[in-house]
Amino acid sequence: MAPATPKPGATDPAIIRNFCIIAHIDHGKSTLADRMLQITGVVDPRNMRAQYLDRMDIERERGITIKSQAVRLPFKADDNEQYVLNLIDTPGHVDFTYEVSRSLAACEGAILLVDAAQGIEAQTLANLYLALENNLVIIPVLNKIDLPAAQPEKYAAELAHIIGCSPDDVLKVSAKTGEGVSELLNEVVKLIPAPVGDAQAPARALIFDSVYDTYRGVVTYVRVIDGRIPLRDKIKMMSTAETHETLEVGVISPEPVATEALGVGEVGYLITGVKDVRQSRVGDTVTLAARPAQSPLGGYRDPKPMVFSGLYPLDGSDYPLLRDALDKLKLNDAALVYEPETSVALGFGFRCGFLGLLHLEIVRERLEREFNLELISTAPNVIYEVTMDDGTKHVVTNPSEFPGGKIAEVQEPIVRATILSPSEFVGTVMELCQQRRGTLLGMDYLSEDRVEMRYTLPLAEIVFDFFDQLKSRTRGFASLDYETTGDQVADLVKVDILLHGDPVDAFSAIVHKDKAYAYGVMMASKLKDLIPRQQYEVPIQAAIGARVIARETIRAMRKDVLAKCYGGDISRKRKLLEKQKEGKKRMKMVGRVEVPQEAFIAALSTDDSAAKDKSK
Amino acid sequence: MASRSLGAYVHVPFCGSRCGYCDFNTYTASELQRDGTSVSADTYAQRVINEIKLTAEKKSDFVKPLETVFFGGGTPTLLPAKDLTQILAQLGQTYGLAQDCEVTTEANPDSVDKEYLETLRSGGFTRISFGHQSSSQKVLQVLDRTHTAGRTWQAVDWAKEVGFAHVSVDLIYGSPHETDEDLQLTLDEVAGAPVDHVSAYSLIVESGTRLAATIKRGELPAPSDDVAAARYEMIDKALTGMGMTWYEVSNWSLPGGECRHNIAYWRNQDWLGIGPGAHAHFDGLRQWNVRHPAAWAALVDSGDMPVADSEQLSTLDVAHENIMLALRLRSGLALSALSVAALVQAELALTDGLLDPQQFANGLAVLTFKGRLLADGLVARLWD
Distance, CA of A11 to CA of A84 (rounded, Å) = 8
Q: Is A585 on the interface with B (CB under 8 A)?
A: no
- Name the residue in chain A with its Cα closest to that of B323: A574
Between A241 and A449, residue with greater pLDDT: A241
> What percentage of chain B carries pLDDT values higher than 90?
79
Q: Is B174 on the interface with A (CB under 8 A)?
A: no
Interchain contact, A573 vs B324, CB within 8 Å: yes
Count other Cβ atoms within 10 Å, centred on residue A168.
8
The candidate with the shortest Cα–Cα distance to B183, out of B239, B231, B130, is B231
Contacts of A581 in chain B (CB under 8 A): 380, 383
Distance, CA of A28 to CA of A26 (rounded, Å) = 5
Q: Is the pLDDT of residue A229 over 60?
A: yes
Distance, CA of A561 to CA of B370 (rounded, Å) = 11
Distance, CA of A137 to CA of A134 (rounded, Å) = 9
Q: Is the pLDDT of residue A3 over 70?
A: no
Q: Is A287 left (phi over 0), alpha (psi -120 to 50) or beta?
A: beta
Q: Is the pLDDT of residue A66 over 60?
A: no
Contacts of A535 in chain B (CB under 8 A): 352, 354, 374, 377-378
Residue A92 pLDDT:
60
According to DSSP H, which parts of chain B are helical?
Answer: 29-34, 41-58, 81-94, 114-122, 137-142, 149-161, 180-191, 210-216, 225-241, 260-266, 293-301, 315-326, 340-351, 357-361, 369-373, 375-382
Sequence-distant (6+) residues with CB within 8 A of A249 are: A9, A229, A230, A231, A258, A259, A260, A261, A262, A268, A269, A270, A271
Q: Is the pLDDT of residue A445 over 70?
A: yes
Contacts of A554 in chain B (CB under 8 A): none
Secondary structure E strands in A62-136: 70-76, 82-88, 109-115
* 8 A C-beta contact, residue B356 and residue B367: yes
Distance, CA of A349 to CA of A310 (rounded, Å) = 7
Which of A500, A534, A535 has the highest number of chain B CBs within 10 A, making it the mutation to test binding with B? Answer: A535
Q: Is the pLDDT of residue A335 over 90?
A: no
How many CB pairs (< 8 A) connect A and B?
95
Q: Is the pLDDT of residue A592 over 80?
A: yes
Interchain contact, A581 vs B380, CB within 8 Å: yes
Between B247 and A62, residue with greater pLDDT: B247
What does the CA dihedral B141, B146, B152, B156 come to, rounded to 10 degrees?
-150
Q: What are phi and psi of B151, to 5 degrees?
A: -60, -35
> What percentage of chain A carries pLDDT values higher than 90?
53
Q: Is A19 left (phi over 0), alpha (psi -120 to 50) or beta?
A: beta
The candidate with the shortest Cα–Cα distance to A363, out of A334, A397, A342, is A334
Closest CB from A557, A565, A568 relative to B374:
A557
The candidate with the shortest Cα–Cα distance to A128, out of A144, A109, A154, is A109
Interchain contact, A559 vs B202, CB within 8 Å: yes
Distance, CA of A453 to CA of A432 (rounded, Å) = 12
Interchain contact, B232 vs A560, CB within 8 Å: no
Closest CB from A536, A567, A577 relative to B281:
A567
Residue A54 pLDDT:
63
Interchain contact, A561 vs B277, CB within 8 Å: no
The candidate with the shortest Cα–Cα distance to A354, out of A408, A303, A392, A292, is A303
Sequence-distant (6+) residues with CB within 8 A of A89 are: A20, A21, A29, A33, A53, A65, A68, A69, A70, A71, A103
Residue A63 pLDDT:
45
Indicate yes or no: pTM above 0.95: no
Radius of gyration of chain A (CA): 28
Q: Is the pLDDT of residue B164 over 50?
A: yes
Closest CB from B200, B325, B374 relative to A535:
B374
Sequence-distant (6+) residues with CB within 8 A of B302 are: none
Residue B36 pLDDT:
62
Average pLDDT, chain A: 87
Mean pLDDT of all residues in A21-39: 88
Residue B9 pLDDT:
97
Q: Is A568 on the interface with B (CB under 8 A)?
A: yes
Mean pLDDT of all residues in B88-107: 97
Q: pLDDT of A263-291, one tens digit each? A: 999 999 999 989 888 888 889 999 999 99
Interchain contact, B9 vs A567, CB within 8 Å: yes
Q: Is A565 on the interface with B (CB under 8 A)?
A: yes
DSSP-assigned beta bridge partners for residue A21: A111
Contacts of B200 in chain A (CB under 8 A): 563
According to DSSP H, which parts of A259-305 are helical?
Answer: none
Interchain contact, A535 vs B377, CB within 8 Å: yes
Q: Rounded to a whole number, what is the distance in angstroms from the first to the last CA of chain B?
A: 26
